[in-house]
Amino acid sequence: MKVLIVASNKSGNYAPFVMDQVQELSKRGVEFAFFPITGKGLMGYLKSLPALKKMIKKETPDLVHAHFGLSGLLAVLQRKCPVVVTFHGSDVNMKKNWYFSKLAHWLSKRSIFVSEDLKRNLKVSKGAVIPCGIDTDLFLKHDKIESRRKLGMDEDKKLVVFSSSFSRPVKNYPLAKEAMDLVELDHVELIELKGYTREEIPIVMSAADCGLVTSHSESGPLFVKEAIACGLPVVSVNVGEVRASFERTQGNHLVDRDAQKIAQAITQVLTENVSSVSNGKEKEFCNKAIAERLEQVYINVITTK
């Protein structure tokens, strides 16, 4: 089976979750080719259509797998090869992309949504829900003190790690800051998850005492799954698939979108000083498990006329 990946590559690299899927599926014998999209906006994507058709003719894939709605719209405009589109979040949750994503869904052979929320938001009944997986060989719990020393972090502070950069509006840093200002404990610091390599993120999570999610919208987030795998307790508003990710785990807190309640949950985590217990939950969203489900989608698309 040969699959052509169609996805944005503006920075010269594909998103880590795309490459994680490719690497795991390659172990299962799936062959891949890549069509990188470097343009921006609708026209920047659609200008790539002649080149995409040329690549399909050259590579003769069994199917095309496009990531995000605009890539999906580009992919479905060629009708020679069946298309699977995975919707990841901004393609559905952002109004300017919603209609393009809807059209890509209608014209694709199969749609995949990384959360039930996205499927509901696009107002469709058909489509598989397959979240992005995590690398459970990378996201492991490390010794807290050693992790702080590696990163040059203060060993005496209570560290709360925010789920992303403070500057990303969708992550809702103002609510996080408001909640942190209400935490009545000494030597507590909120750090942003910015400027670290992927390999350093498990070290950051191991060094921290609590993870914090206050986002306006999410498709996952992967941050929660990665934190659970690293034993980091998380305080999160009810967004994306957080509720499902917390099922059968211990030490995590799902709270209302209220600064006082968020602060109370953070205080509880920091004073109890216990790790999150996954109870094997990470096995459900490890890359291997996700690859098995994706391979079945590929097989169904290829064998169903």
269 and 248 in a single domain? The answer is: yes
Same domain, 178 and 118: no
Q: Is the domain of 19 the same as that of 92?
A: yes
Instruction: Verify that 100 and 165 share a domain, yes or no.
Output: no
Low-confidence ranges of the chain (pLDDT < 50): none
- Do 105 and 189 lie in one domain? The reply is no
**Is there a single domain that holds both residue 166 and residue 235?**
yes
- Residues 167, 250 within the same domain: yes
- What pLDDT shows up at residue 280? 67
> pTM score > 0.85 for this model?
no
16 domain residue, yes or no: yes
Question: CATH number, domain at 258?
Answer: 3.40.50.2000
Question: How far apart are alpha carbons 50 and 78 in whole angstroms?
Answer: 9
What's the pLDDT at 281? 63
Positive or negative CA dihedral for 87, 93, 94, 95? Answer: positive
| Domain total of the chain | 2
CA dihedral sign, ordered 58, 64, 69, 73: positive
Q: Is residue 139 part of a domain?
A: no
- Do 95 and 201 have their domain in common? no
Q: pLDDT tens, 223-232?
A: 999 999 999 9
Taking the C-alpha atoms of residue 288 and residue 20, their distance in angstroms, rounded to an integer, is 9
What is the pLDDT at residue 185? Answer: 93
Check if the beta carbon of residue 229 is closer than 8 Å to that of residue 140.
Answer: yes
The Cα 148–Cα 241 span in angstroms is: 30
Q: How many CA atoms lie less than 13 Å away from 80 in the CB half-sphere? A: 14
Does residue 92 sit within a domain? yes
Question: pLDDT tens digits for 166-193?
Answer: 999 989 999 999 999 999 999 999 999 9
> Is residue 246 in some structural domain?
yes
Query: What are the distances in angstroms from CA 265 to CA 163, 221, 239?
Result: 16, 19, 16
What count of residues does the chain have?
305
Q: Domain residues for 169?
A: 144-284
166, 178: one domain: yes
Q: Given this model, what pLDDT does residue 279 score? A: 58
